[in-house]
Structure 1
């Protein structure tokens, strides 16, 4: 889930850079920009940095286990080939 503060910051920056005539409608524009950003980003398949880091750690542990099992299998094959 996208942090609402980030969306507020983006919509604030965009609305503050509008021409003077449009800044009178700044709060309306800011609210509409935020809603539009939430809708657009909500359709994307995004994960938080924390979720990404957790999955990366799981993947690293899994790779280490696979490498250990491959090594063990190679040793067993070597032993069975010598007999």
Structure 2
């Protein structure tokens, strides 16, 4: 899949570059637009968004571990024989 996207991006850029004459002052902006268009198709996220999601995942994992521990403690307490008072 990655190879397919890379080939498509390369083809898009090649088409734009070959269509642009060397005297065209918009060449840089057209190539940049082609690159941005291709990269948008990749469904990428920014580093900041990735780091934020990673932090959320870490907090969620910590909460899950605490809940699992509490459940295990409750199950152990429930299974322990009740001693008469």
Within-5 A mapping of 1:3-22 = none
SS at match of 2:58: helix
By percentage of residues, which structure has more helix?
Answer: 1
Unmatched 5+ residue regions in structure 1?
1-23
Instruction: Tell me how large the CA RMSD over aligned residues is.
Output: 2.0
Q: How many residues end up aligned between the 2 structures? A: 62
Unmatched 5+ residue regions in structure 2?
1-21
Larger radius of gyration: 2
> Following TM superposition, where does structure 1 have runs of at least 4 consecutive aligned residues deviating by more than 4 angstroms?
none
When normalised by structure 1's length, the TM-score is 0.65
Question: How far is the alpha carbon of 1:60 from its aligned partner?
Answer: 0.3
The structure 2 residue matched to 1:66, chosen from 53, 64, 67, is 64
